[in-house]
Amino acid sequence: MITKTHFGTLEAGKEVYYYTMKNAAGMSVKICEFGGAIMELRVPDKYGRFADVVGGFDCLRDYVLSPGYIGALVGRTANRIKRGKYKVDGKEYSAYCNNGKNSLHGGKVGYSHRVWDVKAVDGDEPKLILTLHSPDGEEGYPGNVDVKVTYALLSSNALSIHYEAVTDQRTVINLTNHAYFNLGGYASGKIFDHILQIEADRYVVTDEELIPTGVLRSVEGTPFDFREPKPIGRDFEADDQDLKIAGGYDHCFCFTGGETKEPVLRVAAYEQNTGRFMQVFTNQPCIQLYSGNFLDNPEHPLKGGYPQTKQSLFCLETQKMPDAPNHAGFNDITLNPGEKYDYTTIYQFSVK
């Protein structure tokens, strides 16, 4: 079942709507045209009680003005690019620098702050097909790029996100979704007790500006080793320079074996009080674990007036490595005419 609801009006006069998808099991998700944002995601606990497990806002203005990219689709390149500079075929391009001296999540007006076209396809497993045209030169990126993101609410209580894109000129692209999770419910407090497992043997080391140094470090013997399940908070206060620089986890984890043809299970998160269990399947090579270290903006409270507080939500952003064009040996994020950018991430919910 899909319903469409008016959400607000942008300053330019554009009307914005959100769509609610619900499956037969009662799981539901709200997706906004603005930024393609996941506004709400309601899943049951071990007693069958439903709660909203993602951060979001009650009004359109907060999505427009709040930092944090809460729930949004981000692009043309997710994550950071040092000084906004990168090369394609030897030619240097400059992306807009919106994060200090660096470019973050697509620039000044990335895909997170665009109004997407939405086509609703109802049924037992309802879908929303979001499309966006990104013109040549937008935010300093070459090529006309047409993006399609399909959100599907599966009967198995999973949310599938299928990313597709084509270009008419060689360019760079790295898409993700920036949903913020707390499996206890978005307003249930700190995330430190969540049990997390990530099938990643290396992570990307960053400098004081959270820009990759080019080093891929083994997780062995570090706070970044989530190959066996452990609480997010267990090593949070460890004497580790990479953790201290970021104020917690804000790092790209490289999956063991890298990219796959089809989505495979890479991440699992478990909240013991509710029994909610989330598994992340993807064919992407990496994931950014972000522990909400900058969630402290009092001007933009979350739904119901709940304040933004640090480490109350976490992100699991499937993607390729940040600043990839500037590092030999990092993932290739170039897209050529005639090729298709084609990746899928599935957030599967259950209880245990």
pLDDT digits (tens, 9 = 90+) for 236-274: 999 999 999 999 999 999 999 999 999 999 999 999 999
pLDDT digits (tens, 9 = 90+) for 146-202: 999 999 999 999 999 999 999 999 999 999 999 999 999 999 999 999 999 999 999
d(CA 270, CA 264): 18
Catalytic residues: 178, 317
HEC readout, 288-328: EEECCCCCCCCCCCCHHHCCCCCCCCEEEEEECCCCHHHCC
What is the predicted pLDDT for the residue at 114?
A: 97
Cβ atoms 33, 17 nearer than 8 A: yes
Given this structure, which CATH class describes domain 2-351?
mainly beta
Q: What is the mean pLDDT of residues 226-237?
A: 98
Give the pLDDT of residue 179: 98
Mean pLDDT of 119-137: 97
* CA geometry: angle 186, 307, 244, nearest 5 deg: 85
Query: pLDDT class for 56, splitting at 50, 70, 90?
Result: very high
Structure tokens at 323: 């600043």
d(CA 159, CA 154): 6
Domain segments of the chain as ranges? 2-351
pLDDT given for residue 341 in this prediction: 98
- Mean pLDDT confidence for 281-295: 97
Task: List the structure tokens of 140.
Answer: 């300093």
Tens-place pLDDT, residues 66-105? 999 999 999 999 999 999 999 999 999 999 999 999 999 9
Q: How many CA atoms lie within 13 A of 291 on its CB side?
A: 24
pLDDT, averaged across the chain: 97
Percent of the residues in the chain that have a pLDDT greater than 90, as a whole number = 99
Give per-residue pLDDT as tens, 18-32: 999 999 999 999 999
